[in-house]
Copies of this chain bind each other. A is one copy, B any other.
Amino acid sequence: MNEQGSKSSGAAETGLGAAPPQAPGIEQLREQIDRLDRQLVGLLAQRRRVVEQVVQVKQQQDLPTFHPAREEDLISARRAQAAQAGLDPDYVEDLFRTVLRHSRVGQLRTLGRRGVRPGARVLIVGGGGSMGRFLAGWFTQSDYEVRVLDRVDWPQVGPLTAGLDLCLLAVPIGVTPAVAAEVGPRLPAGCILADITSLKGEPLKAMLSGYGGPVVGLHPLFGPATTTMDQQVVVVTPGRQREACQWLLDQLALWGNVLVETSADEHDEVMGIVQALRHFATFAFGQFLHARRVPILRALELSSPIYRLELAMVGRLFAQDPSLYAEIVFATPERLALLKDYIQSLQRNLGLVERGDKAEFAARFRQVAEWFGPFSEQALRESTFVVEKLVHRF
């Protein structure tokens, strides 16, 4: 390579044109690639400037940020062009999804700040906590009049609730029912009462009995470390006067959230599994690694990308706030019963290994696979996709 490289650059320097035309050397080809890459970045910068003009027009005309049909059209057109040019359409789609997401997040930064009801009065109860501060920030940037009620402000509860349009409870699960009972009777007619706890049954009941107006339960499935709400899920459990709550839901959607509606019972059942049980199992696994002093960095080196990701899913828990997880795991007696059931089922499966019964292991395995149906194939595809992303990133 060095030889070839110095040969071609030498020819360029002396400018001797007598030699017969020869195939370009690797250094010349690399210069061509660099030139093309510079042009690529130049086009991306031009694209960015046009998108900024689009944002201005959208702002003036009050148009929404997203245009899913437009995005799919764009992707289809580029896929078709890629196929014609002999490029892998999946590869080109992958690149354009990155471009579109970047563009969407950039637009949200400007457009998503708009208020659906600017000037409306919002009280965040527990506004001193991390989620409370986070939400207060979003409402403030969207031109709401934001008030904060924290433990020390209880004497001010009268003036703080006066003329209120939204009362948002952002206090720990354990005290949410008590706070709802306390605050509910003070709210003016038409004000929305909402909470953001990760449990919906008890809090919703308490809000409905403490207040006779519009009530809605919310469970944002993200933490205060999020910088964008783009495509973050918020579970919505309607309580009373759904239409009166609509502007709040519209505001969340405008910020980029995806809203999923369900009943409080279904929410709590599903969350018992996907939150409480998963968190407990992950916590216990990390604890086990620690107790056995497993050499974690060495284990990572000896791991395939998918095992690295498995370990990362364990590690990430411990970079977060233990009290948040304790709240979720310790929330209800049903959750304790669920954990007990789970450990018993582990015991039963251990019996298979003790008896060396591989045939029964395989039979149970196939039973689950059949019951999962298309989910396992999809899971394999999705997780393989992200693992490939991880591999090419690091």
Contacts and interface: CB of A to CB of B under 8 A. Distances in A.
B316 A63 contact: no
A9 interface: no
B378 A315 contact: yes
Interface in A54-86: 54, 56-58, 61, 63, 70, 74, 77-78, 81-82, 85-86
Given A235-B302, A379-B314, A278 B307 contact: yes
A12 interface: no
Instruction: Please report whether the interface of chain A is mostly helix, strand, loop or mixed according to DSSP.
Output: helix
Contact of A318 (B95, B98, B361, B369): B369
Given A299-B274, A389-B389, A50 B37 contact: no
Interface string A285-319: 11111111011111111111111111111111111
A54 B260 CA distance: 50
B343 A312 contact: no
A276 to B, nearest CB: 9
Given A38-B81, A50-B32, A92-B44, A319 B233 contact: no
Nearest to A307: B274
Contacts of A178: none
A365 B321 CA distance: 9
A247 interface: no
Contacts of A271: 302
Nearest to A93: B393
Contacts of A222: 304
A85 B315 contact: no
A54 B24 CA distance: 9
B290 A302 contact: no
Interface stretch (A123-131, A184-192, A348-356): A348-356
Interface string A17-60: 00000011110011011101111111111111011011011100
27 contacts: A4-B57, A26-B63, A36-B50, A39-B43, A41-B85, A45-B86, A95-B99, A100-B392, A221-B307, A231-B392, A262-B302, A270-B298, A274-B302, A283-B361, A286-B368, A288-B345, A300-B375, A310-B313, A313-B379, A316-B384, A318-B368, A318-B372, A318-B376, A325-B365, A330-B356, A340-B350, A386-B387
